[in-house]
């Protein structure tokens, strides 16, 4: 009986630590801490540094993020989300994790895309089927 309690205790601790480590690794990718190098470079190169550290690749439209723009960032530790905002110079971005990619879109653009995709088009007319009955006699009209 004593060995059974010991086994249950060890198994419970194992599950507890396993769940804790899974949470730490599987938490929100955008909240992971990365180190921005104190340097001047293109947006493309700096996002590449964030990509190397986070293990996630970026997907974005060149109309939203200008790859060739040269920016200077301070050497600091920050979340992936903050790094993207600092490198791009814009906080008006929607960031969405898709597998091992981070999709970057304009915030307003994303909402309009969702409305377009999620809402089915409304028909210009409606068809109603049924039988019209006379109120007094109950006979079909």
Structural domains present in the chain: 29-116 (3.55.50.30)
Degrees, nearest 5: CA angle 77-34-16 = 110
How much is the pLDDT for 24?
A: 41
Q: Where residue 25 falls among pLDDT bands split at 50, 70, 90?
A: very low
The per-residue pLDDT for range 4-15, each reduced to its tens digit, is 665 665 555 455
**In whole angstroms, what is the distance from residue 88 CA to residue 66 CA?**
8
Which neighbouring-strand residues pair with 36?
76
Residues 6+ apart with CB under 8 A from 33: 77, 78, 79
**In whole angstroms, what is the distance from residue 33 CA to residue 30 CA?**
8
The per-residue pLDDT for range 54-72, each reduced to its tens digit, is 999 999 998 889 989 999 9
User: Exposure of 84 by Cβ count < 10 A (0-12 exposed, 13-18 middle, 19+ buried)?
Assistant: buried
Residue in 60, 117, 131, 128 with CA at minimum distance from that of residue 94: 60
**In whole angstroms, what is the distance from residue 141 CA to residue 125 CA?**
24
**In whole angstroms, what is the distance from residue 89 CA to residue 28 CA?**
22
Between residues 77 and 113, the one the model is more confident about: 77
């Amino acid at each position: 009986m004593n060995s059974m309690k010991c086994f249950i205790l060890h198994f419970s601790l194992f599950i507890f630590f396993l769940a804790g480590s899974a949470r730490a690794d599987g938490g929100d990718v955008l909240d992971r801490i990365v180190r921005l190098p104190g340097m001047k470079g293109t947006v493309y190169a700096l996002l590449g540094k964030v990509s190397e550290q986070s293990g996630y690749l970026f997907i974005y439209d060149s109309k939203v993020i200008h790859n060739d723009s040269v920016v200077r960032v301070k050497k600091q530790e920050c979340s992936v989300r903050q790094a993207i905002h600092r490198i791009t110079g814009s906080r008006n971005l929607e960031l969405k994790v898709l597998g091992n990619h981070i999709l970057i879109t304009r915030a307003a653009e994303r909402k309009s895309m969702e409305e377009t995709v999620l809402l089915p088009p409304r028909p210009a007319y409606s068809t109603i089927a049924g039988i019209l009955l006379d109120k007094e006699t109950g006979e079909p009209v």
